[in-house]
Structure 1
Amino acid sequence: MLKNYLKIAWRNLRKHKFYSFLNIFGLSLGLASCLLITLYVVDELSYDRSFAHAERIYRVNADIRFGGADMSLAVAPDPLAFTLKKDYPQIEQVVRLRENGSQLVRRADATENLKEDRVFFADSTFFEVFSLPMLQGDRHSALRNPNSVVISETDARKYFGETNPMGKALMIDNNTTYTVTGVMQDIPAQSHMRDVHMLLSMSSTDESRMNAWGSHNFNTYILFREGINAKDFEKNFETILQKYTSKWIQSFLGSSLEDVRKSGNYLVYTLMPLTNIHLHSDRTAEVNANGNIQYVYIFAVVAIFLLAIACVNFMNLATARSANRAKEVGVRKALGSERSALVSQFLTESVLLSFFSLTLAIVMAYLALPLFNNLASKQITFPIANMWFWLILVLTAGVVGVLAGSYPAFFLSAFQPLKVLKNTIHLEGRGSGYLRNALVVFQFVISVMLIVGTGVIYRQLDYIQTKKLGFNKDQMLIVNDAYALNNQVKAFKEQVMRLPNVASATVTSFLPTPSSRTDHTFFPVGQMQQDKGINMQKWAVDYDFVKTMQLQMAGGRAFDEAFPSDSTGIVINEAAAKVLGYKDPVGKKIFGYEDAALTKRVDYTIIGVVKNFHFESLRKNIGALSLILYKSSGSVVFRMKGGDAPQTVAQVEALWKQMAPGQPFNYRFMDQDFDNVYRSEQRVGQIFITFAAISIMIGCLGLFGLSAFTAERRTKEIGVRKVLGASVVNIVALLSKEFIKLIIIAILIGSPIAWFGMNHWLSDFAYHVDLAWWMFAAAGLLAVVIALLTVSFQSVKAALMNPVRSLKSE
């Protein structure tokens, strides 16, 4: 029986090639898109789950309000980790990471350095918390001794050409030798620590033993024992604050913890599950730039939408075409076919078509995966060996086939054969017409929402690119690792300044991109009370920083070599002046400390106020900032005049190689840095517009098929109207207006939903575009135009047909 069902199903698919193609291609396109997005979502949700006991590992976060600033930190004080381990038996082990930034690294016996972007100090307990396989060395002692280093398998091959460089030496920043005591397997790409390739022993830095309860610099992780509830454990942080932190506050501010809280300030420690970090954490001092759970939700919804549009399209065409088979049903029933057999026949055809679509979808997704990986900046692989993957695909195809074929199967199989064969039954009943209309509206509701979403995302990205930031990011060449020049930094700057295309230059470790940050607390001189403190960033700059960045002064002046007293001068921004409460802060004195131990006090005189500029992401409001004169060797920044940039870079590189032989020349442009901050939004925009276009294409395939079916069904009516004098325009309008009504209803339904969703997305930015009415009107107009172009092809074709051909049989 099944063989007979399949044979008849195959004949029907071949008989109606056009509609079979529309059905199979539309559904396969939707399934392929849904499959790619599902692989993306699964990849995002899998971060850090490869570590053993991942469900028992938590990171300590700190939320601080002090001095007019709110800070959400992914770091904690240096003594917190091992204090918790000592005081609470619920904790099995702890580990701290301390970022050491980018470093120049080479073998001790080599002369050429390589750039290592992310180097971290780590406690010897690192491999007891994170179950990363060790290829060489002992996991318990590899990071125990000072000047020990554990490198990844990739770095072992990069520096030594082998995976067993045990006992060999690496020179870090041309001044410290570290001995390789271990080689670890590369940290998986699906980890928030994915870019960590080099771990230096924490005992190599004195910062790890400063006992500074007020200085937050260490990513701190806790491995709980079995059965411990982390939420319940968080209550113990209040004890830590009272027992340890309060003493530091008393010595620093002369106030109690209670007084600090009464003034509206606070310090709160919380625990974040390791597996939540990638998608739920966007704090200061993250180990890596993380993902965003919002985008996972968005893409999951888009995947559901695409699959829904494809299924609706499939069902719509199946329902429309099924009416033409009413006489077939009548004959079959007259010859004795049971209703159950007819239902089975229709469902078999639908499921067969669905499996054809699934096969094509798998091929499409497999071929498109490299392009999708490039678009999404991922390394997703096709899970060919995963049986669950195939089982879910087969079940999905089966469910889609059954759902799509259920309405025509049960609707047509209920016809009475006598009425059908005598043409006394209305085959296009209200039920099927209403159903198809509802499905068309549903399709275009989704399409309108995706069009609006795409437009809003791109408008926000354009706003980010064109917004006045308070500094000029264009034509700014940044030469990294200026410390490799040793004592020739100033000479290098002066030599490059002689190039004809260079306008100005500055040496600094701090730039107006979110990668630069250092927070310090200042007080007005003579007013060291906790309610008078101001927390702001402190950037070490040179005399040319303000000029090179083209910052604008709101009052006072910038640093000037003509004033020796500027060595203790400070320039603040308008936000800092507002927090201090000074109408005219120039000439006022403030003081702060140069060290976490609070032993090196420095008094500063405010010499100028710079206008607010965006030194962080546009997701955040502009905070308090200060500039001080201090010798720095992080980067040398050159403002070019707009001439031949590649030639200028080549000239700068030649001077670098002359003054720093053997040191890698690394450079970047500031506008690229700025773009990188919003790379995730750019990827979202590109993915969004791709799948929005696919959803519209699928919807148009269905609309094209329905318009062809409508024109075919009304052929004789069109012939009569033409004989009675109807023009081509009249016929096109007649056939199109029904669909346009449905699109307008879809616009009215989809626009409010799109407004709600995009308003929520924009709320993540402190600075964003407004949702204007014309954006929704433009999206609606685009949907109408697309629908008209789709429908009009069949309408015009039907209207131009010779009426004699359609009426000669009457």
Structure 2
Amino acid sequence: MFKNYFKIAFRNLWKNKGFTFINIAGLAIGLSCFILIALYVTNELDYDRFYPNAERIYRVDADIKFGGNLLNLTVSSDPMGPTLKKDYPQVEDYTRIYASEGSKIVRKGNDYFNEEKIVYADSTFFNLFPQTVLSGETKTALFEPNTVVISETAAKKYFSTTNASGKTIEIDQKPFKVTAVIKDMPRNSHFHFDFIMSMKNVDYQWNSFLSHNFHTYILLRPGTDYHAFEKNFTQVLEQHVFPQASQLISGLTSMDEFRKAGNMLNYSLMPLTKIHLYSQRYPELEANGNIQYVYIFSAVALFILLIACINFMNLSTARSVSRAKEVGIRKVLGTRRKSLISQFLSESTLMALISLILAIVITYFVLPGFNDIAAKSMSIRDIFNPTLLPFLIALPFIVGLLAGLYPAFFLSKFKPVSVLKGRTNAGFKKNILRSGLVVFQFFTSIVLIIGTIIIYKQLHFIQTTSLGFNKNQVLIVDGAWALNKNDEAFKNEVLKLPGVESATMSGYIPVNSSRSDNTYSRDATMNQKNALSMQTWKVDYDYIGTMGMQIIKGRNFSKDFGTDSSAVILNEAAVRVLGFDNPVGNKIYQNFPGGAGSVMKVYNIIGVVKDFHFESLRHNIYPLGLILEHNNTIMSFRINTADVKPLIAQIKNKWTALAPGMPFSYRFMDEAFNNIYRSEQQVGKISITFAILAIFIACLGLFGLVTYMAEQRTKEIGIRKVLGASVGQVTGMLSRDFLKLVLIASLIAFPVAWWVMHRWLQDFAYRIKIDWWVFLIAGLIALLIALATVSFQAIKAAMANPAKSLRTE
């Protein structure tokens, strides 16, 4: 029986090729969009779940507020991991990762390469994060100093084989024994390392609970409630943190007193499987995703799928008029309503199956482009994900049922006498369901349009807002420490080149670089009222000028003042926290543990620099100080030339002459700044892509409805034309109802879009206002597209010969 249903269904679809193509194409595009977003969402949700004990692994995070500066850290102190393992039986194991600042130089013969995916880790690393071993073994791989585990990629790069265990590799001019080669870490891991060196090679281990530099992961024993375990951190604070903090802060008698003064030091556990989507802290081992975007794109996928199904229903209903007499004849010949429903459901299911196959083909071809936009490396094989595959298998039957149900019942309820006499008008205006579906389609499209416009407005604001420094035309040379004693010579040689205006050496730049947080006080004896936590950047005399920053009080560093080696220039945020009315001439004190109020160094405030952004615009500007101290981590050059490539080639030649064999690595500051907002740029591109597709699919449905209405009102149109109605009048009559629906959709979409985008903008400390014209433009775009779609078919119907439509009367 089912075979017969599908056979008849196939013949009917083939007989109406134009209708079939439009219907299948609309549903296939909608399904393809759904599959693409589903692949993206499942990829995001699957991070780190492949580790055997993923559900029992947690990272120790720290929230610190002291001296007015709030830090949400992914790192904890050196002794935190060992202490938790020793004192708490709930902790089965732990490991620490120390990611030192910048890259390291790895040697291959006479060539040197900068490697950034390089960390130190405890020997227990592979207990928590087991990897596929290609050579050697990982159980004891990091027990000894000067040992390293390398990835498959690194092994092939430096040894041309994965069988590299037992061989020696030079890292930062030190020999390391390769104890194991592991397969490249899975793409859905929140970290990826090519070199994992023994923790015993870390040059300094603080053994201080006040220095936070280690990513610490713990493995809890089965059955342990991690929320309950977090309460133990109160005991850790009292037993281990307080004794050291009381040496630093004069008069501190308890951690409760510390908190009552408005300060904070809290530890918490972040589940491994939530790090990628829920952790927006510092310093992340890699850039993470955002659970908000997963929610948003999941909703978009569902809405686009619903739009496609709605179109399927509307187009099938539009075609129903031409099949009304077929239904009437079948009923006269004794066909039961149940059989008719089964027949029409078979047709819709068959089309859904064909649409799904076509959708998978479309997905296969567009996936590489989508990967580029979303910065992913997804494969069509990912549809076999055990979470996604069962749903995809059931999808055509669900869609076929939902999309075919209404047309099936709509057609099968026709009375034979009525349909054979040509009276099949079900009344467009009275069909609230169909009108509601059109409103829903354009509601979704308008929300996507508004969201896309606001995302791009915020990105434009970020690009054009005053940052407090000039990011344009600045060439950054990383790893300048490889020049050793030739760093000043390199700087001076490059300054001689035409097109180079100024140069500076520093440890930090006001785009994504590392942090250096230190604690200072207004007085020689630190207490909770006079303390300030701020970043401290080591710079040279030319830093402020090269970066285009502005001194608003006092002066810049100068070689004319020998005392500037103990001088500091503060930003406005630091001055506000310290409470200085006239900061220039005052002192601040850097304090380290070693006795109550012990002072390490005294700095004279010689100037105040206008606040500048050195983090994402999601964050406020925090206190910062610039000190004059040699640091050749980064070399920055302000250039002024239209032809950059020859200048870079000249700079590289200078580098090669002074640092033979050392890798030359450069970037531009404006590009580094843009990379901070890569995720927003990706979301913007994805949003505009799916907004266009949603509108296109909605217009297909609108086209179907206009066709349906024009067919139902054929005789009415003929009579109106005979009585003198113009083409314009008839077109207006047919278009009016649809345009009203688009207006209704706009009125519903506006407040919803405002609420969603308002919440998204709250992630930015510096953000745009949502202007009223954004909604006007979005509504007009939807209205004009709908008008163009409706007018095409309406004009066609209005221009038809009335004699043909009235011939049967």
TM-score normalised by structure 2 residue count? 0.97
Q: Give the partner amino acid of 2:227.
A: K
The answer as to 2:126 corresponding to 1:130 is no
- Matched with 2:268 is 270
Equivalents in 2 of 1:250, 1:787: separation in Å?
70
1-side partners of 2:387 and 2:85: how far apart? 41
The 5-angstrom pairing of residues 749-768 of structure 1 reads 749-768=748-767
**Matches for 1:365-404 after TM superposition, within 5 Å:** 365-383=363-381, 389-404=388-403
Shift of 1:723: 2.6
Amino acid at match of 1:23: N
Q: How big is the shift at 1:120? A: 0.9
Q: 1:103 to 1:442 in 2, by over 3 A?
A: closer
Q: Kindly indicate whether the alpha-carbon contact (under 8 Å) linking 1:33 and 1:303 is maintained by their aligned counterparts in 2.
A: yes
* Residue identity matched to 2:234: E
Task: Tell me the equivalent position of 1:114.
Answer: 113
Q: Offset of 1:111 from its aligned partner? A: 2.3
For 1:68, the equivalent position in structure 2 comes to: 68
The partner residue of 2:222 within 208, 223, 226 is: 226
Cα distance in 2 between the residues matched to 1:762 and 1:480: 33
* Residue 355, structure 1, aligned to residue 356, structure 2: no
What is the rounded CA distance, in whole Å, between the counterparts of 2:390 and 2:139 in structure 1?
A: 42
How many angstroms does 1:596 deviate by?
10
In the alignment, what sits opposite 1:197?
194
Cα distance in 1 between the residues matched to 2:353 and 2:132: 42
Higher alpha-carbon deviation: 322-331 or 766-775: 322-331
Matching residue of 1:4: 4
Give every structure 1 segment of 4 or more consecutive aligned residues whose post-TM-superposition deviation is greater than 4 Å.
Answer: 384-390, 429-432, 593-600
What residue is the counterpart of 2:490 in the other structure?
492
1:26 is matched with: 26
The letter for the 2-side match of 1:669 is: F
User: Aligned residue for 1:660?
Assistant: 659
Q: Tell me how far apart the structure 2 counterparts of residues 640 and 156 of structure 1 sit (CA, whole Å).
A: 39
SS in 2 for 1:96: strand
Q: Which amino acid aligns with 2:239?
A: K
Write the distance in 1 (CA, Å) between the matches of 2:188 and 2:594: 35
The residue number in structure 1 matching 2:445 is 447
- Deviation string 1:383-431 (CA, Å, 9 cap, x unpaired) is 26557755422311111111111122223323332343345x5531479
CA distance in 2, matches of 1:165, 1:120: 19
| Alpha-carbon contact 2:248-2:592 (below 8 Å) kept | no
SS in 2 for 1:105: strand
Letter in 2 for 1:704: F
**Cα deviation per residue 1:205-252 (whole Å; 9 max; x = unaligned)?**
2433x2111110000000111111111111110000000100011111
Question: Does residue 245 of the first structure (1) align with residue 241 of the second (2)?
Answer: yes
Quote the residue 2:77 is aligned against.
Answer: 77
Residue 732 of structure 1: aligned partner:
731
- The match for 2:332 is 334
Q: Give the CA deviation at 1:315.
A: 0.9
Q: Deviations over 1:550-591 (max 9, x none)?
A: 101120011111111100000000000000001110010011
Q: Take 2:593 and 2:162, find their aligned partners in 1: how far apart are those partners?
A: 40
How many angstroms apart in 2 are the aligned matches of 1:395 and 1:655? 64
SS in 1 for 2:302: helix
> Is 1:48–1:191's contact at 8 Å kept on the other side of the alignment?
yes
Matching residue's letter, 2:16: H
Counterparts of 2:286 and 2:27 in 1: how far apart (Å)?
A: 39
1:761-797 deviations in Å (ceiling 9; x for gaps): 1111111111111111110010000001111111222
Greater shift, 316-325 or 373-382, is seen at: 316-325
Task: Give the counterpart letter for 2:563 in structure 1.
Answer: S
Aligned mates of 1:91, 1:439 — CA distance in 2: 55
Please give the alpha-carbon distance, in whole angstroms, between the structure 2 residues aligned to 1:421 and 1:574.
84
Q: Residues 803, 580 of structure 1: CA spacing in aligned structure 2 closer, same or farther, 3 A cutoff?
A: same
> 1:151 touches 1:199 (CA, 8 Å); kept in 2?
yes
Please say if residues 735 and 791 of structure 2, whose CA atoms lie closer than 8 Å, have aligned partners that are also in contact: yes
Give the drift of 1:280: 0.3
Larger mean Cα displacement after TM superposition, 425-434 or 750-759: 425-434
More displaced 10-residue stretch of structure 1: 375-384 or 449-458: 375-384
> 2-side partners of 1:430 and 1:781: how far apart?
25
Q: Which residue of the partner structure matches residue 157 of structure 1?
A: 156
Provide, for residues 347-383 of structure 1, a one-character-per-residue CA deviation record: whole Å limited to 9, x for no partner. Answer: 1111111111111111111111111111111111122
Q: Which of 420, 423, 426 matches 1:428? A: 426
Counterpart-to-counterpart distance in 2, 1:714 and 1:429: 10
**Equivalent of 2:204 in 195, 199, 207:** 207
The 1-side partners of 2:300 and 2:153 are apart by 37
Say if 1:215 and 1:596, in contact at 8 Å, map to a contact too. Answer: no
Tell me the distance in 2 between the aligned counterparts of 1:645 and 1:691. Answer: 37
1:6 Cα shift? Answer: 2.0
1:105 aligns with 2:105: yes
Hey, what's the Cα distance between the residues in 2 that align with 1:489 and 1:595?
Answer: 34
Amino acid at match of 2:722: V
Change (3 A) 1:276 1:228: same
| AA at the equivalent of 2:202 | T
Report what 1:786 is aligned to.
785
Deviates more, 1:378-387 or 1:588-597: 588-597
**Post-superposition CA distance 1:465-523 (Å, at most 9, x none):** 11110100000000111111110000100000011100000001200013231111001
Residues 508, 540 of structure 1: 8 Å contact kept:
yes
1:74–1:286 contact (8 Å) kept in structure 2: yes
Give the distance between the partners of 1:164 and 1:387, measured in 2 at CA.
34
**Residues 1:389 and 1:241: Cα distance change in structure 2 (over 3 Å):** closer
Compared CA separation, residues 237 and 605, structure 1 to 2 (3 A): same
Deviations along 1:18-54, whole A, 9 cap, x unmatched? 2222111000000011001101110111101111101
Give, in whole Å, the separation in 2 of the partners of 1:138 and 1:5.
61
Task: Report the CA distance between 1:70 and its aligned residue.
Answer: 0.7
Q: 1:420 to 1:728 in 2, by over 3 A?
A: closer
Of the structure 1 ranges 10-19 and 286-295, higher mean CA displacement relative to structure 2 is found in 10-19
Distance 2:300 2:611 in 1: 39
- Mapped partners of 2:393, 2:125: distance in 1: 43
Consecutive unaligned residues of structure 2, counting only runs of 5 or more, are none
Question: What is the 5 A alignment of 1:589-600?
Answer: 589-593=587-591
Aligned-pair CA distance for 1:636: 0.8
State the distance in 1 between where 2:762 and 2:446 align: 21
The equivalent position to 1:565 in structure 2, one of 563, 566, 574, is 563
Q: 1:78 to 1:388 in 2, by over 3 A?
A: closer
Please say if residues 248 and 598 of structure 2, whose CA atoms lie closer than 8 Å, have aligned partners that are also in contact: no
Hey, what's the Cα distance between the residues in 1 that align with 2:694 and 2:3?
35
1:687 is aligned to: 686
Distance (Å, rounded) in 2 between the aligned partners of 1:33 and 1:498? 55
- Counterpart CA distance in 2 for 1:695 and 1:466 is 31
Contact conserved, 2:523 with 2:530, CA < 8 A, in 1? no
- What is aligned with 1:585? 583
Q: Distance in 2 between matches of 1:242 and 1:313?
A: 64
Instruction: Give the C-alpha shift of residue 286 in structure 1.
Output: 1.0
The residue matched to 1:737 in structure 2 has which SS? Answer: helix
1:801 shift after superposition? 2.7
- CA distance in 2: counterparts of 1:266 and 1:705, whole angstroms: 62
> How large is the Cα RMSD of the aligned pairs?
1.8
Q: 1:234 and 1:531, CA in 2 relative to 1: closer, same or farther beyond 3 A?
A: same
The equivalent residue for 2:287 is 289
Asked if 2 retains the 8 angstrom alpha-carbon contact of 1:59 and 1:272, the reply is: yes
Displacement of 1:15: 2.8
1:325 maps to 2:323: yes
CA distance in 2, matches of 1:528, 1:807: 97
